[in-house]
């Protein structure tokens, strides 16, 4: 039993169908674990009969985020968000990110005394301090300020919950993740032969993700391993790493079926990151039957011990060689325990709906104020 066992398939939910607003700075077309988690959660919530309104960057004027241009930052969205809240009259509000849309929604909720919940997806203080001369404490002070008025802060793993509580965060609840076991499966065709790998020696060690400093890919490339190291993904650090590690195979970004086949064709998936909060790719690799080697960081430490689906070790090489011995069938069996439906049920359970009759009174009052303002403006 992993530390995670208690989270799997714990059913139960707010029985009624709810109107939920999700405010997020991370959404399609960005491709990352946060976006996959949110899009799947929204799809599952809708399938369960809830109405979900997503407030995301493509609906507003945006600028590219410094150092991470795929992320668009919405500017001046606050007035429009107020309008959309009035029109939708949500029963529950969830803020998934601490960027401009998250900040605008938080400000409105605090001003209107509207209950809301938040989630913590990236070890943001560590992430920022890896890129800019900003100490980790400053990041934590900001995060604490941001999440303080939240009725509940949802995090992916028990370890992260414990760490945030130690930093003084309150109301922290687990929200587990799922994996698409149909898209990622061991029956897929192999792929690396088609991508130039006919003569690459096995075993194949795979890393997938954005090629950027916070992912610590260099630790993987530095590790002395037999066989071939393969990096799938793109990002600002790629050109530099490609030049410095000519023996590694950099295949650029792959998506959908191709990506799933990359997971399937690897012998071990290597996850050297220390700043992720979960590492959805870990479950995706396991669903394809590929064992995972990682450091004892957040995510791996909650998912891997006792799973028979991988190995963690302070020494990455030791973890890699240990993972190579896992039986691929038991790796797949472990991944099958993580369903997106169970994840979405836990998300809904964690929401803080505005209780009736106060909720009805609140929205009626807002409508009245809006009418008065319109008259005054006319």
In the DSSP assignment, the letter for residue 354 is P
Same domain, 86 and 114: yes
Q: Does residue 186 fall inside a structural domain?
A: no
Same domain, 198 and 230: yes
| CB 129 within 8 Å of CB 57 | no
**Which pLDDT score, from 0 to 100, does residue 38 have?**
95
Same domain, 134 and 233: no
Same domain, 237 and 367: no
Q: Does residue 185 fall inside a structural domain?
A: no
Q: Please name which of 216, 182, 370, 214 lies closest in space to residue 288, comparing C-alpha atoms.
A: 182
Same domain, 266 and 314: yes
**Which pLDDT score, from 0 to 100, does residue 129 have?**
74
Tokens matching residue 99:
């960027």
Distance CA 167, CA 178 (A): 27
Tokens matching residue 330:
């038991």
Asked whether the whole model's pTM tops 0.95, one would answer no
**Which pLDDT score, from 0 to 100, does residue 137 have?**
84
Q: Does residue 75 fall inside a structural domain?
A: yes
Q: Please name which of 340, 334, 332 lies closest in space to residue 288, comparing C-alpha atoms.
A: 332
Q: Does residue 74 fall inside a structural domain?
A: yes
Distance CA 65, CA 362 (A): 36
Same domain, 368 and 277: no
Distance CA 202, CA 226 (A): 8
Q: What DSSP letter does each residue of 13-40 carry, written as one string?
A: --SS--EEEEE-S--TT--SHHHHHHHH
**Which pLDDT score, from 0 to 100, does residue 371 have?**
85
**Which pLDDT score, from 0 to 100, does residue 3 have?**
39
Same domain, 109 and 46: yes
In the DSSP assignment, the letter for residue 213 is G
Same domain, 201 and 284: yes
Count of structural domains within the chain: 2
Q: Does residue 262 fall inside a structural domain?
A: yes
| Residue located via tokens 């989270």 | 7
**Which pLDDT score, from 0 to 100, does residue 4 have?**
41
Q: What share of the chain is helix, strand, coil (3-state, %, to 5)?
A: 45, 15, 40
- Residue 32: C-alpha distances to residues 36, 45, 320 (Å): 6, 20, 24
Q: Does residue 291 fall inside a structural domain?
A: yes
**Which pLDDT score, from 0 to 100, does residue 224 have?**
97
Same domain, 162 and 214: no
Distance CA 279, CA 299 (A): 6
Output phi, psi for 205, to 5 deg. Answer: -105, 120
Same domain, 251 and 364: no
Peptide bond into 29 cis (omega under 30): yes
CATH number at residue 310: 3.40.50.2000
Q: What DSSP letter does each residue of 332-343 carry, written as one string?
A: HHHHTT--HHHH
**Which pLDDT score, from 0 to 100, does residue 376 have?**
85
Question: Residue 240 is part of which domain span?
Answer: 193-335
Q: Please name which of 139, 130, 162, 83 lies closest in space to residue 274, comparing C-alpha atoms.
A: 130
Same domain, 82 and 229: no
Same domain, 110 and 204: no
- In sequence order, what are the residues at sequence separation of 6 or more whose Cβ sits closer than 8 angstroms to the Cβ of residue 135? 129
Output phi, psi for 196, to 5 deg. Answer: 95, 10
- pLDDT averaged per 10 residues, the chain (length 378): 38 67 91 89 96 94 76 84 93 93 95 94 72 81 93 91 91 91 94 95 96 90 98 94 97 94 98 86 96 94 94 98 97 92 93 89 87 83
């Amino acid at each position: 039993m992993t530390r995670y066992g208690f989270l799997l398939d714990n059913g139960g939910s707010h029985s009624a169908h709810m109107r939920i607003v999700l405010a997020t700075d991370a959404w399609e077309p960005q491709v990352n674990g946060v976006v996959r988690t949110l899009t799947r959660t929204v799809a599952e919530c809708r399938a369960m009969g809830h109405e979900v309104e997503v407030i995301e960057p493509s609906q507003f004027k945006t600028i590219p985020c410094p150092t991470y241009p795929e992320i668009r930052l919405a500017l001046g969205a606050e007035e429009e968000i107020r309008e959309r809240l009035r029109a939708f009259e949500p029963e529950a509000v969830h803020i998934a990110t601490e960027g401009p849309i998250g900040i605008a929604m938080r400000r409105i909720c605090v001003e209107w005394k509207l209950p809301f919940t938040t989630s913590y997806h990236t070890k943001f203080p560590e992430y920022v301090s890896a890129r800019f001369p900003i100490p980790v404490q400053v990041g934590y002070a900001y995060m604490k300020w941001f999440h303080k008025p939240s009725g509940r802060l949802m995090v992916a793993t028990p370890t992260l919950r414990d760490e945030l509580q130690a930093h003084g965060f309150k109301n922290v609840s687990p929200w587990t993740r799922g994996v698409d076991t149909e898209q990622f499966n061991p029956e897929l065709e192999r792929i690396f032969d088609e991508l130039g790998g006919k003569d690459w020696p096995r075993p194949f060690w795979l890393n997938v993700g954005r090629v950027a400093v916070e992912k610590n890919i260099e630790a993987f490339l530095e590790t002395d391993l037999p066989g071939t190291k393969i990096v799938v993904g793109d990002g600002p650090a790629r050109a530099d790493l490609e030049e410095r590690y000519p023996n590694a195979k950099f295949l650029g970004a792959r998506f959908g079926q191709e990506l799933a086949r990359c997971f399937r064709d690897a012998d071990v998936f290597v996850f050297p990151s220390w700043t992720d909060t979960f590492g959805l790719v870990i479950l995706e690799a396991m669903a394809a039957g590929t064992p995972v080697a990682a450091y004892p960081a957040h995510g791996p430490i909650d998912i891997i011990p006792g799973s028979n689906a991988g190995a963690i070790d302070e020494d990455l090489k030791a973890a890699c060689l240990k993972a190579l011995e896992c039986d691929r069938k038991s790796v797949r069996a472990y991944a099958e325990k993580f369903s997106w439906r169970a994840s979405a049920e836990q998300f809904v359970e964690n929401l803080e709906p505005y209780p009736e009759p106060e909720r009805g009174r609140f929205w009626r009052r807002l409508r009245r104020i809006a009418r008065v303002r319109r008259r005054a403006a006319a």
